[in-house]
Amino acid sequence: MKTLLAALTLTTAGLSYAAEFPTRPINLMVAYPAGGSTDVGARILAAIAEKTLGQSVVVVNKGGAGGQVGWTELSRQKPDGYNIGFINLPGFNTVILDPERKAIFNADSFTPIINQVLDPGAIWVKADSPYKNVKDLIEAAKKTPNKISTVTTGVLSDDHLAILMVEEAHPGALFRIVHLEGGAHQMTQILGGHVEVAFDNVGSIVKQVRAGQVRGLVVLDTQRSKFLPDVPTTPELGMPNVISNSTRGIAGPKGMPAAVVKRLQEGFAKAMADPEHVKKLEDSGLAIRVMAGAEYDKYYRDMHARAAKYTEWARKRPHK
């Protein structure tokens, strides 16, 4: 009887708690320093979500170690919905998957809530490059394996994994992988002619493609990017499995009450559909793709499995 009562009070407490949620400000953690593109997107969203959630949403930057510092902290928060944060797939997954990182959290340490942005991968070259299209590039990579210098935005970044996917789709093609750190460095090195090919995300190159400085060869997505409508996609070119992107979504620690998750999904979904949110994000070259509930949950799991496969590959690849 006692236990039953206790259970009853707990449930009602849980229910009324969820009905009232949120009653105080929500901390929205960004695992990167202020000013990066995740931060920009988070701040635009937070300002609008304050209206849809009825509480202020405070963006808290916990940068460091490629996001590991912030995600470590997020995984240790109380699952009450007041401490949530952005996870950036697949960078998030590879932090978990790379044993050298010694992450104290895993894929099950979090509750995925809602996705905000999906920035597809792209392969691009300088405007005067001899590689006019993907076919040229892949033939060259077969003819002179491990010679074409190809830059990523970091070890085990989505771009690094994308190179491995292209190599998987075209046995015999081998790129010489050069890891740089982030978009601006890639652009300088490509424009300076120090490296030949870059794998990066659409959001990082829109301006330069429009200015005619660089050429997008292919977008690694199932649909054409509205920012680069003339660039074909990988499925169009017969590479249906070469799909790579980086996403930004919101997650909380594991064990969040379903009602709280639902309330957050509703509030954020409404904010993301707001014309102001759409316009501001598109102005910064970020493509919105809202995924919530079962869809985001599945995406989160699938992405982890894919990242696990290619992380393993990267570790075994003879030419690191």
Partner 1 sequence: MDGLQLLLNGFAAALTLNNLVFALTGCVLGTLIGVLPGLGPAAGTAILIPLTFKLDATAAIIMLAAIYYGAMYGGTITSVLINVPGEAASVVTCLDGYQMARQGRGGAALGIAAIGSFIGGVFATLMLTVLALPLAKLALSFGPPEFFALMLLGICLVTGLAGRSLLAALAMTVFGLLLAMIGIDPVRGAPRFTYGIPELLDGVGFIPVVMGMFGVAEILITAESTRHTVIDTRLAAMLPSRAEWKRSAGAIGRGTLIGFFLGLIPGVGAIIPTFMAYIAEKRLSKHPEAFGNGAIEGVAAPESANNSYANASMVPLLVLGVPSSPTIAVLMGAFIINGLTPGPLLFAERPDLVWTVIASFFVGNVMLLILNLPLVGVWASILRLPTSYLCAGTLVFCIVGAYSLKGSTFDIAVMLVFGLIGYVLRKLDFPLAPTVLALILGPFMEKSLRTSLEMSGGDFSILFTRPISATFIAISATVLIVSTLRLATVRAMKQAETL
User: Which residues are at the interface with partner 1 (CB under 8 A)?
Assistant: 33-37, 39-40, 62-66, 68-69, 72, 98, 100-102, 146, 149, 155-156, 176-182, 184-185, 187-189, 191-195, 207
Q: How many whole angstroms separate alpha carbon 264 and alpha carbon 84?
A: 10
Q: Rounded to the nearest whole angstrom, what is the least distance from the CB of residue 169 to partner 1 in the complex?
A: 23
Query: At which residue do the structure tokens 């509480």 appear?
Result: 55
Q: Rounded to the nearest whole angstrom, what is the least distance from the CB of residue 117 to partner 1 in the complex?
A: 16
Distance in Å from the first CA to the final CA of the chain: 63
Q: Rounded to the nearest whole angstrom, what is the least distance from the CB of residue 99 to partner 1 in the complex?
A: 10
CB nearer partner 1, residue 142 or residue 185 = 185
CB nearer partner 1, residue 196 or residue 221 = 196
Q: Rounded to the nearest whole angstrom, what is the least distance from the CB of residue 163 to partner 1 in the complex?
A: 13
DSSP letter (8 states) at residue 242 = -
Q: Rounded to the nearest whole angstrom, what is the least distance from the CB of residue 13 to partner 1 in the complex?
A: 32
Q: How many whole angstroms separate alpha carbon 188 and alpha carbon 179?
A: 14
CB nearer partner 1, residue 41 or residue 112 = 41
Answer whether the bond into residue 229 is a cis peptide, omega within 30°: no
CB nearer partner 1, residue 113 or residue 151 = 151
Question: What are the residues whose beta carbons fall under 8 Å from the beta carbon of 284, sequence distance 6 or more?
Answer: 37, 40, 41, 203
CB nearer partner 1, residue 118 or residue 206 = 206
* Tokens linked to 66: 């490629």
CB nearer partner 1, residue 233 or residue 311 = 311
The continuous run of DSSP H or E covering 149 comes out as strand 149-152
Q: Rounded to the nearest whole angstrom, what is the least distance from the CB of residue 212 to partner 1 in the complex?
A: 12
DSSP letter (8 states) at residue 52 = H
Q: Rounded to the nearest whole angstrom, what is the least distance from the CB of residue 76 to partner 1 in the complex?
A: 11
> Coil, strand or helix: which one is 2?
helix
Query: At which residue do the structure tokens 């797939």 appear?
Result: 89
CB nearer partner 1, residue 167 or residue 221 = 167
CB nearer partner 1, residue 61 or residue 247 = 61
Q: Rounded to the nearest whole angstrom, what is the least distance from the CB of residue 185 to partner 1 in the complex?
A: 7
CB nearer partner 1, residue 156 or residue 162 = 156
Q: How many whole angstroms separate alpha carbon 94 and alpha carbon 122?
A: 20
Nearest to 22 by CA among 57, 74, 68: 57
Length of the chain: 320
Nearest to 221 by CA among 87, 122, 91, 115: 122
What is the separation of C-alpha 294 from the centre of its chain, rounded to a whole number of angstroms?
A: 18
* Tokens linked to 280: 């501001």
Q: Rounded to the nearest whole angstrom, what is the least distance from the CB of residue 187 to partner 1 in the complex?
A: 6
Alpha-helical segments (H) within 80-224: 91-97, 134-143, 158-169, 183-191, 202-210
